[in-house]
A and B are shown apart, each in its own frame.
Chain A
Amino acid sequence: MNEILSVNNVSKRYGNVNALNSISLQINKGEIYGILGPNGSGKTTTLGIILGVLNPDRGSYSWNGNTPTKYDRKKIGSLLETPNFYPYLSARQNLSIACKVKEVSEGDVDRVLSKLDLLNRADSKFKTFSLGMKQRLAIASALLGNPETLVLDEPTNGLDPQGIAEIRNVILDLANEGKTIIMASHILDEVEKICSHVAILKLGNLLTYGPIESVLNNQEQVVVASENLVLLERTLSQIDGVSRIQKNGDKLSLILASGKDSTYLNKALFEKGIVASEISIRKTDLESNFLELIK
């Protein structure tokens, strides 16, 4: 079976706030699954539930098709929100404790420290680390035991541009090794560069999910210009298959339903007595699609 994680109608409330509203997701082996959404959309709550720190009010989830136990979590490398370590212990001592908790060999400590470029600070106390180093140590800890599945919550949080690039490479390496990675982020660019699949959350609702191309890049934007913009807009709104008309300077942009192309649009306009001075097709960038989705 290829299914790694299955989330079924999970809901969670904090007092009056509906943090998650009947979320269902399925994540298969080898997928790099991005959970994307603005702050407060329920990303961390979702990850907190599948990692056993939050109890869902309703719904269930399963790892590898089974009811989750602590033994599943030992085999998942996780980073949730902040790096959590003992400030008075060194990086090495902290990882040694993590190894014992996960019941993996402590021989792995040096490997993950060197992978995250922390070997030269291995014996420094955690409290002396910078924010970026703390974050790298947390990712190092997630890699202990070389787990097949990783759950990373905002993995590049607090890192400088170079650190961000390094972490992305680490994640891409893991992806190339065939590992399954579930990653929450509010940075679209990051998800676009790393993920194969994406789910978009907003205010606790799952808006859409699927392979990244189909979710974020399935539509082409058409830009139309004509002498009388008001008339053009009114006419466009009457044409079948046209949606999301927006004013864009002295031009109008719109989305055409699939199967319709610029020739169809031109013909339809001409039949209504309007001559377009420009009809051009622009591939929409991910950002505008994303912003459109979470509107």
Chain B
Amino acid sequence: MLNLLKIEYEKIITYSTFWVIFGLFFFFTPLVFYGLGQIKLDSFPIDFTTIYHFPDIWNNITYVASWFNLLIGMLLVILVCNEFSFKTFRQHVIDGQSKSDFILSKILLSSSFSFLTTFYLFLIVGFLGFVSGNDGSFLTDIKYLLIYFVQSLGYMSLGLIIAVTIRSSALAIIIFTFSIFFESILSYFVPDAIAPFLPLEIISNLTPVPTPKGIQVPVLAEAIPLNTSLMIAVIYILAFWGISFLILNYKDVK
């Protein structure tokens, strides 16, 4: 397994797209998060700097970073589609990899990406949280990091299934980007009881919109509890990985 992951990193370590996308993530996530804390509205009596405070910071940072998760998902789509357009998937099979090795490689790569981004958020929180004065417990709500990790895997598992089905980078990226849009259209056509359980709905709701302090927000009674969402998301991820393997296994290696 370690050998498979090593091969994956050898493929991307000099690939510029990999560095550009991770660079964007590493640069913009803290910048946007820091910027949000600097907002001052005269008509709106909120102290935005409280977004840095424990324990809310965990929810806040993961919400902001979740937007950039789509970028990492897109990177995975590109990397997987490359294997088809360069025909290197075919070459790997010829050279002695199995189709399940291929899927396993991409699962390991996705997991390592999720681990990297999650760890990076941990560093940002560590820095901003303590600089702004720690008045809460560091560990309270740190579960949001785990949730973020699962969300990030979720987007990449969706990317994987789209990439192995479509195989062409351009089309796969478009479908991946618009899949949220497609799903929200679809949600109008399915019963209301099912709509909140659609995969992207579940995955994107893992990082809920934070409720700013001092504002009364009506609590939505029908919202799915976070722990349930988390469990359903994990099931979706496993299903996406499994279906990706079945698709790959069924088709000839082109």
Residues of A with Cβ closer than 8 Å to B? 48, 51-55, 70-75, 78, 80, 82, 84-89, 93, 96-98, 100-103, 141
Q: Per a CB cutoff under 8 Å, which of A72, A78, A88, A141 touches B15?
A: A88
Residues in chain A near residue B252, CB distance under 8 A: 48, 53-55
Partner of B253, one of A53, A72, A89, A101: A53
Cβ contact of A52, chosen from B7, B15, B82, B94, cutoff 8 A: B94
Q: Is the CB of A78 within 8 A of B94?
A: yes
Residues of chain B within 8 A of A89, CB atoms compared = 11, 14
Output the least CB separation between B245 and chain A (Å). 15
Contact of B94 among A55, A80, A86 (CB under 8 A): A80
Give bound CA distance, A97 to B13, whole Å: 12
Assess whether A87 is in contact with B86, with CB atoms less than 8 Å apart: yes
Given contacts A84-B88, A85-B86, A88-B16, contact A100 B6 (CB under 8 A): yes
Shortest CB-to-CB span from A176 to chain B, Å, is: 25
For B88, the chain A residues whose CB sits under 8 A away are 84-86
Residues of B within 8 A of A97 (CB): 7, 10-11
Interface size on B, as a range, is 20 to 34
A87 to chain B, nearest CB (A): 7
A-B contacts, 10 of them at CB < 8 A, read A52-B253, A84-B90, A84-B91, A85-B86, A86-B86, A88-B15, A93-B10, A96-B10, A97-B11, A100-B10
Q: Mark B85-96, 1 if CB is under 8 A from A, else 0.
A: 011101111111
Our pick among A55, A70, A82, A85 for the contact of B96 (Cβ within 8 Å) is A70
Is residue B38 contacting chain A, with contact meaning CB distance below 8 A? Answer: no
**In terms of DSSP, what is the predominant structure of the interface of chain B?**
helix
A93–B14 touching, CB < 8 Å: yes
From B82, B94, B96, contact of A103 by CB (8 A): B96
B 10-30 binary contact with A (CB < 8 Å = 1; else 0): 110011100000000000000
B67 CB to nearest chain A CB (Å): 28
Q: How far is the CB of A56 from chain B (nearest CB, A)?
A: 10
Q: Which of B14, B16, B87, B97 contacts A84 (CB 8 A)?
A: B87
B90 close to A53 (CB less than 8 A): yes
Whether A71 contacts B94 by the Cβ 8 Å rule is no
Whether the Cβ atoms of B7 and A80 lie closer than 8 Å is no
B3 x A100 contact (CB < 8 A): yes
Chain B contacts of A53 at CB under 8 A? 90, 93-94, 252-253
Instruction: Produce 1/0 per residue, B45-80, CB < 8 A to A.
Output: 000000000000000000000000000000000000
Which A residue's beta carbon lies closest to that of B91? A84
| A51–B253 alpha-carbon span in the complex (Å) | 11
Complex Cα spacing A71 to B92, Å: 12
B201 at the interface (CB under 8 A from A): no
How many whole Å from A267's CB to the nearest CB in chain B? 59
Are the CB atoms of A86 and B95 closer together than 8 Å?
Answer: no
Contact indicator A70/B11 (Cβ below 8 Å): no
Which residues of chain B come closer than 8 Å to A51, judged between CB atoms?
A: 93-94
- Can you name the residue of chain B whose Cβ is closest to the Cβ of A53? B253
* Whole-angstrom CA separation of A78 from B94 in the bound complex: 7
How distant is the Cα of A85 from the Cα of B16 in the complex, in angstroms?
A: 17
Given contacts A53-B94, A78-B94, A100-B10, could you give 15 more A-B pairs where the C-beta distance is less than 8 Å?
A53-B253, A54-B253, A72-B96, A74-B96, A75-B96, A78-B95, A82-B87, A86-B88, A87-B86, A88-B16, A97-B7, A100-B3, A101-B95, A101-B97, A102-B95
Min distance, Cβ A271 to any Cβ of chain B, angstroms: 61
Bound CA span A93–B6, Å: 13
Query: Nearest B residue to A77 by beta-carbon distance?
Result: B95
Contact for B101 among A70, A75, A93, CB less than 8 A:
A70
B40 CB to nearest chain A CB (Å): 46
Query: In the complex, A54→B99 CA distance in Å?
Result: 12
Contact A73 B94 (CB under 8 A): yes
Most chain B CB within 10 A, of A48, A52, A86, A96, is at A86
- The verdict on B98 contacting chain A, using a C-beta distance below 8 Å, is yes
Cβ contacts under 8 Å, A141 to chain B: 95
